[in-house]
Amino acid sequence: EIVLTQSPVTLSLSPGERATLSCRASQSISNWFLSWFQQKPGQPPRLLIYGASTRATGIPDRFSGSGSGTDFTLTISRLEPEDIAVYYCQQYRTSPLEVTFGGGTKVEI
Amino acid sequence: QVQLQQSGPGLVKPSQTLSLTCAISGDSVSSNNVTWIWIRQSPSRGLEWLGRTYYRSDWYYDYGVSVKSRIALNPDTSKNQISLQLNSVSPEDTAVYYCARVVTETGKPYYIDVWGKGTTVTVSS
């Protein structure tokens, strides 16, 4: 089983600051299958980044993804108050089939 | 715009069957370039993938290891929806259940782009 470990668990920053969220996989995964989601209370997760670095439709350019192999990063270049949320990374392996999520990073402002 | 409308009971008794429905609008349940999945979320287990179904000239199903012996996904083309059945539930199955769409490209799953709003299910007598 591929385990995704996210760090830090909680990130407390001020508006305008840069947020760097980490997602580490227990074994190498293809960039194709790595996504990032944002979840606010009472809502389903919202796709931010797919293919490790491609922004989803309508996502502001202050969100960016990078990384490869076992280490991936989500960066929020300038935090806005509406970015308060929990952020999850997710991977999809096809053989054997496995879909897993990280434990999440909570961003506080 | 694709939307997923979930429905089903919020309370299920232990040992009974949890049944939820996901009605699809803006896409077809038998579309050849997507798969349909169910995920649940709880404080103890986080986000957990339960299973998927998709149509590629026939229907295919895959289920997560943790629920494989108890789960069934049933597509209904006449109603353009997918139902989830989880048998022999216990309090550990208490969670928010989501249906979602996975975009595929060149036959490979790519990303989860649309989610239902979620159904909170409590297993309790």
Scanning chain B, the segments in alpha helix (DSSP H) are none
Instruction: Specify the 3-state DSSP secondary structure of B31.
Output: coil
Give the phi and the psi of residue B118 in degrees, each rounded to 5: 95, 145
Question: Given this model, what pLDDT does residue B110 score?
Answer: 87
Q: What's the Cα-to-Cα distance from A29 to each of A21, A45, B111, rounded to whole Å?
A: 18, 22, 14
How distant, in Å, are the alpha carbons of A47, A80, A82 from that of A60? 12, 11, 12
Q: Which two tokens stand for residue B116?
A: 């239902």
Q: What is the pLDDT of residue B47?
A: 97
Chain A stretch 51-80, residues whose beta carbon is closer than 8 A to a beta carbon of chain B? 51, 56
Query: pLDDT tens digit string along B6-58?
Result: 999 999 999 999 999 999 999 999 999 999 999 999 999 999 999 999 999 99
Q: Which of B47, B102, B113 sits opposite A88 (nearest CB)?
A: B47
- pLDDT per position as a tens digit, B76-111: 999 999 999 999 999 999 999 999 999 988 888 889
| Chain B interface mutation, best of A2, A53, A97, highest count of B Cβ atoms under 10 Å | A97
Are A45 and B47 a contacting pair at CB < 8 A? yes
Distance (Å, rounded) from C-alpha A79 to C-alpha A11? 11
A105 inside 8 A of chain B by CB = no
Distance CA B44, CA B33 (A): 33
Q: Can you give the pLDDT at residue B108?
A: 83
What is the residue-wise DSSP string for A31-86?
GGGEEEEEE-TTS--EEEEETTTEEPTT--TTEEEEEEEEEEEEEESS--GGG-EE
Whether residues B117 and A44 touch (CB distance < 8 A) is answered with: yes
Cross-chain residue pair A32–B47, CB shorter than 8 Å: no
Which pLDDT value is given to residue A97? 85
Residue of A nearest to B101 (CA): A47
Please state the rounded mean pLDDT for residues A34-55.
97
A68-89: per-residue pLDDT in tens?
Answer: 999 999 999 999 999 999 999 9
* DSSP character string of A6-44: EE-SEEE--TT--EEEEEEEEEEE-GGGEEEEEE-TTS-
Say whether pLDDT at A38 is over 90.
yes
Q: What does the alpha-carbon distance between residue B52 and residue B38 come to, in Å, rounded to a whole number?
A: 7
Say yes or no for a CB contact (<8 Å) between A90 and B98: no
Q: How far apart are CA A105 and CA A72, in angstroms?
A: 13
Q: Across the interface, do A94 and B62 touch by the CB < 8 Å criterion? A: no
Q: A45 to chain B, minimum CA–CA distance in Å?
A: 7
